[in-house]
Structure 1
Amino acid sequence: MKKIFLVFFIFATVFIIDQFIKYGFVYFDWGYEGKVLSLQLAYNYGVAFSMFSFLKEYLKFIQLIMLFVGVIYLYFNKSVFYKYFVAIGLLYAGGLSNILDRFTYGAVVDYIYWHYGFEFAIFNFADMIINLAVAIIIYQQLFKKKDKKTSV
């Protein structure tokens, strides 16, 4: 039961931080122009690197369905939830925050632009959190396989 409360705490914290930052960029014109990194408002109508932007209005519903399917999967596979609960809290916070952007602003609010040495896509805090969640899951998978090999 403590893990469930921790997941909700992680979710709420990340979700609120991300939405606060995006609100500042949209309504208070936050920004910064640097030599390595710029913070500038951009709207992404697709997913990573603007892929599937042609789906615009439908994308938010497709993503909601995917997250709902994930909830159903986790409900029937509680051991997966308990093993990856931190990553799941992060993943759902970032994902739902970006989906809320689609309903609120019509697109995902991006603002971090790396441009030193090479031009990189514009992304946001939720995107970084989603990547962190995936990295945690991969790390746990590699660590688990390593334990199995040593115990045999």
Structure 2
Amino acid sequence: MKKELKIAITIFIVVFIIDQVVKFGFANLSWDVDGPYMSLKLAYNYGVAFSMFSFLEHNLKYIQLVIILIATLYLFKNKNVFKEYYIAIALLYAGGLSNILDRFTYGGVVDYFYWHHWFEFAIFNIADVMIDLAVVIIIFKQIKQSREEKKQNEIKS
């Protein structure tokens, strides 16, 4: 468990710092760049994915902190879940807490990747990508585990 915790903390720190440094650059140093397929443009998201729940703008950061607290308590009680998903959890926490810090620091989440070739897509940031990556890892591990259990049940039958 100590090894997994060290790796998770390292991943968390690296992702969190990189995300915050990049966001600082866009929010304070005008790093905007226009490109033919994708642009880097500062935008603030006052909601969650695709600006949903933006009407909760001022309370959202507190709601999200409560969710993080509940998730942390769950992980303390279910250490086996942490051991199985520590990389995904580190990515989720880094991305989630970085976006929450944005809400306290800038009033909204700092977004800057803007895809606009063939179709327009939501503006997002590194933290969002890490959260998505964590979800993909969790789904992949769940599918793999389900297939292994199914194979074990077939062997027993």
Q: What TM bracket, shorter-length normalisation?
A: over 0.9
1:47 & 1:146 partners in 2: Cα distance?
33
Return the alpha-carbon distance in structure 1 between the equivalents of residues 96 and 48 of structure 2.
11
Structure 1 regions of 5+ residues with no counterpart? none
Q: Gapped runs of 5+ residues in structure 2?
A: none
The equivalent residue for 2:17 is 16
Shift of 1:151: 1.9
Q: Compute the displacement of 1:84 (Å).
A: 0.2
User: Within 1, Cα distance between the matches of 2:54 and 2:146?
Assistant: 38
Identify the residue that residue 38 of structure 2 maps to in structure 1: 37
Greater CA radius of gyration, 1 or 2? 2
Query: Which string of whole-angstrom CA distances, capped at 9 and with x for unpartnered residues, describes residues 7-44 of structure 1?
Result: 10000000000000000001110011111100000000
RMSD between superposed Cα atoms in Å: 0.6
Distance 2:57 2:88 in 1: 28
Quote the residue 1:50 is aligned against.
51
C-alpha distance in 1 between matches for 2:44 and 2:132: 19
Query: TM-score when scaled to structure 1?
Result: 0.99
Give SS of 1:57's match: coil
Helix, strand or coil at the partner of 2:113 = strand
User: How far apart are residue 142 of structure 1 and its match?
Assistant: 0.3
Q: How many residues align?
A: 152
3-state SS of 2:144 partner: helix
Shift of 1:75: 0.5
Percent of residue pairs bearing the same amino acid type: 57
Q: Distance in 1 between matches of 2:84 and 2:34?
A: 41
Query: Matched residue of 2:57: which SS?
Result: helix
- In the TM superposition, structure 1's runs of 4+ consecutive aligned residues that sit over 4 Å from their partners are none
Which residue of structure 2 aligns with residue 139 of structure 1?
Answer: 140
Does the residue aligned with 1:32 lie in a helix, a strand or coil? coil
